Amino acid sequence: MSPSSTSWLSPVWPYRYTSPTPEQLRERRELLTLRGEYAQLSTLILILMFSVHRFAASRGKGKGKGKGKGAKGPLTLSLSAWLDSPLMRGGAETRGQYLVATVWMVWLLGLSAWRTGDDYLHLTKSLAYTVLATIPFNLLLSPKLSPTTHPFNLICSHLLHLPQAHLTPYHRLFGRLVIPTLVSLHSFLYILFFVQNGLLEKRLNDADVQLGVVGFWVLAGLWGTSGWTRGRGNSTSRLKSGSMSKRTAYVIHVGLVMVLLGMAYFHVEYARRFVVQALVIYGVDVGSWVVKRIFRAGTGVSETLR
């Protein structure tokens, strides 16, 4: 690969195609692993920040009620009302939630570019690795089949004071904005690389690229149908299509997610760790629901026998 092959982008694009040595490839793999660990650590910090913000907001409201409306200045009140209002008319997510999602996306983009130097392919792989590391976290934020028995929900609601209704909007925004953006950048940069080096036709016949293309379109389908499942976890919202039940929309959504995870698992080896984590998280969700159903059935039988 010739470094000059990206010279037409050099005035605005500092990255170039390189031919790293085996030692440099090993260092890049170690950096990818470290980047994934930092991304997952960041998700824990984000949850703690959610908890601290909610606790501080509840304390502020309590003090405000005690001191009257004059406790906060008009500027503070207007800013708070603006952040708590929907960004779009009829939308379920607030401006503040969109702001958090944007900051989260910028952080992941910065983490993806961290220590990539001018290596084009390292940046391209890093975008996918970083966002894949956050997939299990996004499943944790999703509405649960049984919120009252799910271990994560119990921890969030009782220890961190984060009810599911507070987490669901971030699941939607991260799934609609953050994940598609990083995956799209990853896909675009790889296609550009194939075109620039005359490899597009050859690589489109390879299984890993075909899986990646299918996975991209499944992700696009998830993005396009995300509005169908908005009613789940949000009692005030309604599905736009009266003929589409919440249960059907949920099954379609979960089905597309499972297909996407399958595509990612076979697309590249380093994705498998995060796919397994995501499947374990969903398995806990299903298991919690099954336990609740068994408990209810047992309770019903015992009451009948009395």
Query: Is residue 122 in some structural domain?
Result: yes
Query: Is residue 65 in some structural domain?
Result: no
Cβ atoms of residues 101 and 107 within 8 Å: no
Residues 6 or more apart whose CB falls under 8 angstroms from that of 105 comprise 177, 178, 181, 182
**Cβ count near 28 (within 10 Å):** 19
- Mean pLDDT for the stretch of residues 92-107: 96
Domain limits at 264?
22-53+92-228+245-297
Number of domains, the chain: 1
Query: Is residue 6 in some structural domain?
Result: no
Query: Is residue 303 in some structural domain?
Result: no
- C-alpha to C-alpha distances, 195 to 128, 165, 188, 211, nearest whole angstrom: 20, 45, 11, 18
Q: What is the pLDDT of residues 102-157, one digit of tens each?
A: 999 999 999 999 999 999 999 999 999 999 999 999 999 998 887 777 888 888 88
**Is 119 strand, coil or helix?**
strand
Query: Is residue 145 in some structural domain?
Result: yes
User: Model-level pTM?
Assistant: 0.87
Q: What is the pLDDT of residues 41-73, one digit of tens each?
A: 999 999 999 999 888 887 766 665 555 555 566
Query: Is residue 286 in some structural domain?
Result: yes
Q: How far apart (Å, rounded) are the C-alpha atoms in residues 18 and 15?
A: 9
Identity of the residue numbered 267: H
Query: Is residue 116 in some structural domain?
Result: yes
Q: In this model, does residue 234 exceed pLDDT 50? A: no
Query: Is residue 69 in some structural domain?
Result: no
